[in-house]
Structure 1
Amino acid sequence: MATAIKTDILNAFLDKIDESNFSSLKEKAQQRLRETGLPGIKDEEYKFTSILRKIEKSIENFSCAAASELSEEDVQESLPQGFSGDYLVINNGKPELNLSKISSQHYKVTLLSEAENQTLGSIAKIEKDPFTALNSASFADGLSISVDKNSKIEQPIFILLFNKANQGEVINSRLLIEIGENAEVSFLENTISLDERAYFANQVVEVKASPNSQTKYAKLQNESRNAITVNNFETDIHRDAVFTSTVISLNGDMVRNNLSLNLLDSGCEGNMYGLYLLNGKTHVDNHTNVDHTKPHAESNELYKGILTDSSRGVFNGKIFVRQDAQKTNAFQQNNNILLSEDATINTKPQLEIWADDVKCSHGCTTGQLDEEALFYLQARGLGRDQARGFLLYAFAGEIMEYISDDSFRQQVIDLVQERLGSQI
């Protein structure tokens, strides 16, 4: 029965494919999917996150959603208060450059269908994850963002994704980002659900961080309670480059984040920070991968979770240190607080080392609020709920500090404080 469901869902996706662009990539991706299929709960990487069962229950129309009606006012209302940088609008996976703001001369934005490059699909490979293959077989178009070498983009570039089940419930978005040598840039991303209807959003982001570049990418996930989302984010990080990812997950039905940092040369650095703050029946699965291939590289990873009600979190972090990657420095930590008996966390930090001259550590913790700390704050005049909010915010706040843009960080803080009930 499970095999039949997997086959039926895969065929439902493949029947709706638009093959007008990227025919070579689409053909290879379809062939890959027919060979491997989509992952079910018997697949090790997805055993805690049954995307297919959720899709079977919630998705009826496997057509790609048409673009919704968006206005400039809709866009402006979705930006953080005080934000003054450029922004790129993606409407149900379809770029809307007429609603975007591109003021800097130091980067170029083009439709993937019009871009002249051979990079697409070479970083996020279809063999890596079945949903990358599904996106590669299904997406109609996307954005290519190319940052000039030796440039510094002073203001962040905000990527706004508007999602709505609109005569179709499947949304495929695709981004290819290439950071030039010695360049410096920050990206922000937020997905806005335009109504509460269920949809399946499948996103792939490929990033090439050229030598000596510095890139930050902060992402907010606060979609509707019925949103099913898979995000595959793949980076190639070259000599002396620094890449930093921060992911804040607050809402959704089922969210799967696959984040991979490929450290391809000496002197490069990869940082991964995440916060998942879950209630209701929200399910968030963070699968991370750091691949050290050359000596003298560094990675830092810290993910924190606060879970209540019947929510479920999954963290699976892998660090690979290849034989040539001597003098590697790699750190990984996952910390969780459970606020109800029905909340669940499955955590599995992994470390595989083939080199012998390295500094590596990994670990995880799961517990409840410190009753002594709670009593201490109450003894100094705080009510129990306020004291609880202070402690939870102190736990979560460390991750939000990695968001460099003030306006976006404040937007996230406001959402977190509202969820925690802390008045800070």
Structure 2
Amino acid sequence: MSTLTQQDTFQGLFAAAPENFLSIRTLGKESFLSQGLPTVKAEEYKFTNISKKLENAIKSFSPSLPFEISESQVKSALFEDFQGDVLVFSNGKFLPELSSSIEGVEVATLSEKPETALGSIAKASKDPFVALNQASFADGIFISVPKKVQIEKPILLLSFNKENAGQVIQPRVWIEVGDFAEVTFIDQSINLSDSAYFVNKVVEVKGGINSQISYYRLQNEGKGTIEVSNFETDIQKDAKFTSVNISLSGDMVRNNLSLNLLGSNSEGNMFGVYLLNGKTHVDNHTNVDHTIPHAESNELYKGILADQSRGVFNGKIFVRQDAQKTNAFQQNNNILLSDDAIVNTKPQLEIWADDVKCSHGCTVGQLDEEALFYLQARGIDKTSAKGLLLYAFAGEVLEKIEEESFRNHVVNLIQERLGSKF
């Protein structure tokens, strides 16, 4: 795995980075060069050989430039019955001229907010792709919901991506939600090219006391997309954070989701569905860190894999010594629809406290033949019956999406894929 660990391979990215945030860029570069890109010898990436994938697919590690997007493209990308505000991106660059002005919310580019504590939540030392982003991102978006402000409409982060002048798209997002504030985000990418390109995304979320944050993400990438997403959030006392991640397509996708529960009575929820076919590879790595007593986390990921697709789930829950009275639950369930589909699942608990309620588990199996026969015996053809059972399997996660228009959009996509619509 030699070529991708050399500094000159990424010199185009390092050289293109502007001088803004020079100190954190320097730290990011030093951290990245000390770590290098991970190989399968690294425990965290043993089932996802993303370095080899990048070596074979990406011709030059240079930054992709933004491209022109029309208002009609934005409108056509909105799902049916969506009533909310939209923030538009082109190859990771925020486009304020096509975006909503959101009442009660401050939105700016990161270069306009030099005091932002970038890198304080998603630390470069934790993952080489965080370090690479920190070393070379061009700019990003700053979103702040002030104290006690309740945003009733969802905020859609709508990203248009395609291979352009370069190969690497590096979005950077900072979100801070004040005490007693409420907000819902929807994160969706529109791919305009099936050519190979690399998206290396970092999102940091800072949730205040008694804040209520929902973050829904739909990954329905182009066939050539290689993506690494690092999402990390700090949640304070009495706050609630809910993430729902839906992965449907792409070449190779790696999702790193970390939740730090830093206050008593805080609640973190992490839900996901990966519905894969072809040769799509999706790797979900989650991390929940309980540091304070009287906090709760709930985690449920479900996978449906067909053809030669591959899924990876690695979930970690840490319960620190002071985190007594913790409730932490984690489950990963999978259905394999072909002999060539593979899933590697590894739920983990590390507990240093003695007064806790924690559980974790995983299952891998096939469709229930008795249930399939039952539906067919009542006049439902085999394809529809199969689709209904699979949809019921995924539905436990889909019902966690409280934003109705987005939930309906995801349900339609999944039902079409499964053939369960009537």
SS of the residue 1:202 aligns to: strand
The separation in 2 between residues aligned to 1:11 and 1:45, in whole angstroms, is: 25
The separation in 2 between residues aligned to 1:197 and 1:68, in whole angstroms, is: 16
Equivalent residue number for residue 56 of structure 2:
57
The separation in 1 between residues aligned to 2:62 and 2:271, in whole angstroms, is: 34
The separation in 2 between residues aligned to 1:397 and 1:33, in whole angstroms, is: 40
Residue 283 of structure 2 aligns with an amino acid whose one-letter code is: D
In structure 1, the gaps of 5 or more residues are: none
The separation in 2 between residues aligned to 1:334 and 1:318, in whole angstroms, is: 12
Residue 239 of structure 1 aligns with an amino acid whose one-letter code is: K
Q: Which moved more, 1:38-47 or 1:253-262?
A: 38-47
CA shift for structure 1 position 352: 0.4
Which of 315, 318, 332 aligns to 1:317? It is 315
Q: Deviations over 1:203-233 (max 9, x none)?
A: 0000001000000000000010110000000
Which of 142, 152, 159 aligns to 1:161? It is 159
Equivalent residue number for residue 142 of structure 1:
140
Equivalent residue number for residue 211 of structure 1:
209
Residue 277 of structure 1 aligns with an amino acid whose one-letter code is: L
TM-score normalised by length of structure 2: 0.98
Equivalent residue number for residue 367 of structure 2:
369
The separation in 1 between residues aligned to 2:11 and 2:332, in whole angstroms, is: 37
The separation in 2 between residues aligned to 1:259 and 1:22, in whole angstroms, is: 24
Which of 175, 199, 202 aligns to 1:201? It is 199
CA contact (8 A) 1:124 1:234 kept: yes
CA shift for structure 1 position 279: 0.1
The separation in 1 between residues aligned to 2:395 and 2:8, in whole angstroms, is: 44
Matching of residues 392-411 of structure 1 within 5 Å: 392-411=390-409
Residue 412 of structure 1 aligns with an amino acid whose one-letter code is: V
Q: Residue 16 in 1 paired to residue 20 in 2?
A: no
Residue 301 of structure 1 aligns with an amino acid whose one-letter code is: E
Regions of 4+ moved over 4 Å: none
The separation in 2 between residues aligned to 1:370 and 1:25, in whole angstroms, is: 52
CA contact (8 A) 1:284 1:312 kept: yes
Matching of residues 111-190 of structure 1 within 5 Å: 111-190=109-188
CA contact (8 A) 1:6 1:40 kept: no
How well do the aligned residues superpose, as a CA RMSD in angstroms? 0.9
Report the number of matched residues: 420
The separation in 1 between residues aligned to 2:142 and 2:391, in whole angstroms, is: 37
Residue 360 of structure 1 aligns with an amino acid whose one-letter code is: C
Equivalent residue number for residue 107 of structure 2:
109
The separation in 1 between residues aligned to 2:209 and 2:56, in whole angstroms, is: 46
CA shift for structure 1 position 14: 3.2
Q: Residue 307 in 1 paired to residue 316 in 2?
A: no
Q: Which moved more, 1:344-353 or 1:110-119?
A: 110-119
CA shift for structure 1 position 81: 1.2
Residue 256 of structure 2 aligns with an amino acid whose one-letter code is: N
Equivalent residue number for residue 329 of structure 1:
327
SS of the residue 1:330 aligns to: strand
Residue 364 of structure 1 aligns with an amino acid whose one-letter code is: C
CA shift for structure 1 position 403: 1.3
CA shift for structure 1 position 116: 4.5
Q: Deviations over 1:221-260 (max 9, x none)?
A: 0010110000000000000000000000000000000000
CA shift for structure 1 position 335: 0.2
Equivalent residue number for residue 97 of structure 1:
96
Q: Deviations over 1:350-396 (max 9, x none)?
A: 00000000000000000000000000001111111111011000001
CA shift for structure 1 position 167: 1.3
CA contact (8 A) 1:14 1:30 kept: no
CA shift for structure 1 position 15: 3.2
CA shift for structure 1 position 118: 3.6
Residue 14 of structure 1 aligns with an amino acid whose one-letter code is: Q
Q: Deviations over 1:24-54 (max 9, x none)?
A: 1111111111212111111110111111111
In structure 2, the gaps of 5 or more residues are: none
SS of the residue 2:13 aligns to: coil
Residue 212 of structure 1 aligns with an amino acid whose one-letter code is: N
CA shift for structure 1 position 399: 1.1
Equivalent residue number for residue 38 of structure 1:
37
